[in-house]
Structure 1
Amino acid sequence: MPFLRRAATATAATALLGGVSWVARAAWGLPVALGASRRRLRPTVTGSRQFSDGKFHNNLPTPAIGPANARDGLLRQWHEDRHKGLPGGPIPLVTPELPDQAGELAVTWFGHSSALLEVDGHRVLVDPVWGERVSPSPLVGPARLHEPPVPVASLPPVDAVLISHDHYDHLDLPTVRALVREQSAPFVVPLGIGAHLRGWGVPDDRIVELDWDGAATVGGLTLTCTEARHFSGRFLSRDTTLWSSWVVTGPRHRVFFGGDTGYTPAFAGIGARLGPFDLTLQPIGAYNDAWHAIHMDPEEAVRAHGDLGGRVLVPIHWATFNLAFHRWAEPVQRLLTAADARGVTVVVPQPGERVDVLSPPPLRDWWTAVGSADDGESGPEAGLAAAAAARARRTGPLRRLSPRR
């Protein structure tokens, strides 16, 4: 009996230590990943017209979570629908074919909101996220549904890195650190994000912070910080840094990058002042009635494209992370229906695919074969298996980007 008691005690201790170890690993690096404190942010943000009462504000009333009836359904959705956003099978990737010299007008989509723009012979990297999870923790939070199509180290030299806001699926600590090592371009960001970057080792001379309607010239391009309808925050404090969309203007071509936003009439004003645009990158995923004010749905993305005077629309903010309760393929399906009704030209690249916007390719359906986890009889297990297989294929690039050093 004493032996059995000792064995039971040892087993319990092992389990306890294992749990403590898991918690320690899950929390490793959190203070750094969370970013700058409110105290460090304050000196760079208080002069903004958008900043009052200790935080930034949208020009329209914008609740992060909608009315009570929408909030009441969230718990049910989490219980019943949380697997819907998983793909039904592996997401096909393309190894990017990037020319030595940047083209006149092209875009390479890496997944979610990460893309490489080529505008009039210059390159701009937007919202680069190469990390495994969009979370401050290495073990907790939404994981990638497909691996990055190319390592950060294989990207060509870029002229600028644009960031739309500080949420984890748009501002990624391990990717920032990799870009500091591999690139020399400045980070052009909305107000306040510079404090995050300085804390992560980005030199002051590589940080340009702008308010809405502010602009910076980088190489031969003008980068204008424009209004978006969203919010910010990497922990409990909300709206301590600014969020934005971006306009990239070259001598011959113009691109609008939506980042992450709800629909706003401000798009029409941006189009009138800075458009029309040869290309718009519009967020189409992670929508829900409960947070309709801060995330456009696909139909609103088409409407915004029209307000901006866009010619070609490339959808972003979908396919790579499970952040809502709609089916994985639903955003692009709804987008194409809405675009067809309005006669809008849409190109839907595979992750890693480069598109020449001046000669856009015919629309090619690659997402139907992937499907959504709840489309077939296998249910969510198919999507979970596909995501697990993608994680199992991870090699050096992601491990080298670990933020918890």
Structure 2
Amino acid sequence: MPLPRLGRLLRPAAFGGIPTGARLERMQASPQYADGSFRNPTVTLTMASGSALDLARTNVHRADRVRRRPATAIPLHRPALTGPDAAPDSGLRLTWTGHSTVLTEIDGARVLFDPVWGERCSPVGFAGPRRLHPVPLPLEDLGPVDVVVISHDHYDHLDMPTIRALVGTGARFAAPLGVGAHLERWGVAPERITELDWHESTQVAGLTLTAAPARHFCGRALHRRTLWASWVVTGPRHRVFHSGDTGYFPGFAEIGAVHGPFDAVMMQIGAYSDFWPDIHMTPEEGLRAHLDLGGGEPHGVLLPIHWGTFNLAPHPWEEPAERTYAAAAEAGARVALPIPGQPFEPGGELPQAPWWRTVAAPASDAASTVSKARHPAGARPAPAQQQP
């Protein structure tokens, strides 16, 4: 047996597939692809110089570890999403189930972004970041989904057990270039998968799905060739944006100018650190990106995502919400801060109560986190690794 084929067979299933053949040729033809991998729209630091030891010290410091978990159970809402009478009155409803997973009901269609129902975001079940709260509803109770949208192939966004469970739903899948290799290995038929480069679009259930630029990176195990993306979904009446994972970059203004204005923006605001300054945004950067998408004005509703579910960074678990809450108030932006599973319609009353303050970490001062932020903007260590 040829060694490359043997290697693919021995590769653990959770690592996914490796793009080959026509899929790989299409990736290599992308304007974003050079020297064996995809490149960011601007020079990007994936890790700051000398940060590994400092990060290790932070992870073992007891006070820091305590602050990274809630003191009591995170409240959950069990949404009633199935049945003919469940359609949103306005035509647009969002249900954040935790981290970056959002069910978006838009103009009669149902879009599921970055579904992760697994207990850990890890290739194994016995190690890796574990949930801080259960998923608000069982996957089998989710109801029909027209299309599953994947932003990139990191374990906290692309979960093998969840994808395998969704295979039987009949949903279509939309993903950046190369990610289809993982989906196919996990049982999704090739004809149900659409892979897009940045600025490419596809039509699903009366919607237009467009892959847009983002500033991040990809990879499962040692394979790092797949593309990452943010997403624009446009229906006959509504438009939404999902950031995936991204650092701040000037491209948000261009995305807004071409595809906006948006009724709702699902924006990454958690898991930031000076240890990786360019691949995740701080809450203030997330708010700035939201304003960029609206042409500098606070149009649409901001839904903060990528926080409160997995412990992925050395900041207090509730700090992303607290800082976003303050930044949005200062900018006059409409922000929705639901408990996991709580549906809302951007055109109606928004969930805005600071619920995280009631379950903050022991002896924490969550309400004053903004003034004591441990990762202020502008504090940038010297670069060690760069990815253009």
Interval of TM-score (by shorter of Structure 1 and Structure 2): 0.7 to 0.9
Q: Are 2:38 and 1:53 aligned?
A: no
C-alpha displacement of 1:99: 5.3
Q: Are 2:69 and 1:86 aligned?
A: yes
Identity within the alignment, %: 52
> How do 1:348-363 and structure 2 match up within 5 A?
348-361=337-350, 363=352
Q: Which residue of 1 aligns with 2:254?
A: 269
Q: Which residue of 2 aligns with 1:169?
A: 156
CA distance in 2, matches of 1:72, 1:39: 37
- The question of whether the paired residues in 2 share the 8 Å contact of 1:84 and 1:372 is answered with yes
| Match 1:62 to one of 44, 58, 73 | 44
Q: Tell me the SS of whatever aligns to 1:306.
A: helix
> How do 1:234-249 and structure 2 match up within 5 A?
234-238=220-224, 240-249=225-234
Structure 2: segments with no counterpart, 5+ residues: 1-9, 366-388
> How do 1:105-254 and structure 2 match up within 5 A?
105-181=92-168, 183-238=169-224, 240-254=225-239
Q: Tell me the SS of whatever aligns to 1:74.
A: helix
- The question of whether the paired residues in 2 share the 8 Å contact of 1:134 and 1:168 is answered with yes
- The question of whether the paired residues in 2 share the 8 Å contact of 1:30 and 1:136 is answered with no
C-alpha displacement of 1:94: 0.4
CA distance in 2, matches of 1:362, 1:98: 18
C-alpha displacement of 1:37: 2.8
CA RMSD of aligned residues (A): 1.6
CA distance in 1, matches of 2:130, 2:236: 39
Larger helix proportion of the pair: 1
Amino acid at match of 1:201: G
Q: Are 2:245 and 1:260 aligned?
A: yes
- The question of whether the paired residues in 2 share the 8 Å contact of 1:45 and 1:192 is answered with yes
Q: Tell me the SS of whatever aligns to 1:368.
A: helix
Q: Which residue of 1 aligns with 2:269?
A: 284
Q: Are 2:42 and 1:42 aligned?
A: no
TM-score (norm 1): 0.82
Amino acid at match of 1:37: I
C-alpha displacement of 1:156: 1.6
Amino acid at match of 2:136: P
CA distance in 1, matches of 2:106, 2:363: 39
CA distance in 2, matches of 1:142, 1:189: 24
- The question of whether the paired residues in 1 share the 8 Å contact of 2:70 and 2:361 is answered with yes
TM-score (norm 2): 0.86
Q: Structure 1 residues 33, 44: closer, same or farther in 2, change over 3 A? A: farther
Q: Which residue of 2 aligns with 1:77?
A: 58
- The question of whether the paired residues in 2 share the 8 Å contact of 1:284 and 1:335 is answered with yes
C-alpha displacement of 1:74: 1.7
C-alpha displacement of 1:75: 2.4
Regions of 4+ moved over 6 Å = none
CA distance in 1, matches of 2:67, 2:133: 16
Amino acid at match of 1:146: H
Q: Tell me the SS of whatever aligns to 1:116.
A: strand
C-alpha displacement of 1:355: 0.5
